[in-house]
Amino acid sequence: MAVWLAAASTPLVAAQLYQWKDAQGRTVYSDQPPPPNIRNVQQKAFKGSVIEVGESYAAKTAREKYPITLYASACGAPCDQARQLLAERGVSFNNKDPQASPEAQAELQKLTGRLSVPVLIVGSDRVDGFEAGQWQAALDRAGYPKSAPPGRKPVPAAAPAPTPAPAQ
């Protein structure tokens, strides 16, 4: 598969990069917008020789071996702090809200014997309630990075929106 890349070698000048598939199915990268008939165009901003780095090898390995599930709802400070800690560490996680999902509620009841949140699952390790030290230790044991990748400001994960009650 041919890949075309157009890039300027100017020092740290912000530029726009476009990515799309051409009629032959080849991925095309260009600093010029694609023809108007092209769909599914992705725009990416970059600065000179800066390359956006995704997930580190350590984070990818930890995520594959020890996936994270967070059982949390709009429970206030404990759930907000739990999400903030995970965001600051830059880890991806599966968020399950037992208030919004009967399936998540049943899973949490089976897992813990009650419906208290937050609950953190890291692989097969479980931490009930939010206590930063215990959560940090569980993530450390699994090999997750201590902070989000450099250059990327962690964005606090928002509380899941409550599911509207069915109309009667």
Q: What is the pLDDT of residue 81?
A: 95
- Give the model's pLDDT for residue 39: 77
Q: What is the C-alpha to C-alpha distance for residues 91 and 101, in angstroms, rounded to an integer?
A: 23
Q: Which CATH class is domain 57-142?
A: alpha beta
The predicted pLDDT at position 126 comes to: 96
b/e map 84-119, b = 16+ CB within 10 Å: bbbbebbbebebbbbebeeebbebbeeeeeeeebbb
Sheet containing strand 14-21, strands side by side: 27-30, 14-21, 42-47
Domain range annotation of the chain: 1-52, 57-142
pLDDT of the residue at 8: 42
Instruction: Supply the pLDDT for residue 4.
Output: 46
Task: Give this prediction's pTM.
Answer: 0.59
Task: Show the low-confidence residues of the chain (pLDDT under 70).
Answer: 1-15, 45-55, 149-168
Residue with tokens 């032959």: 24
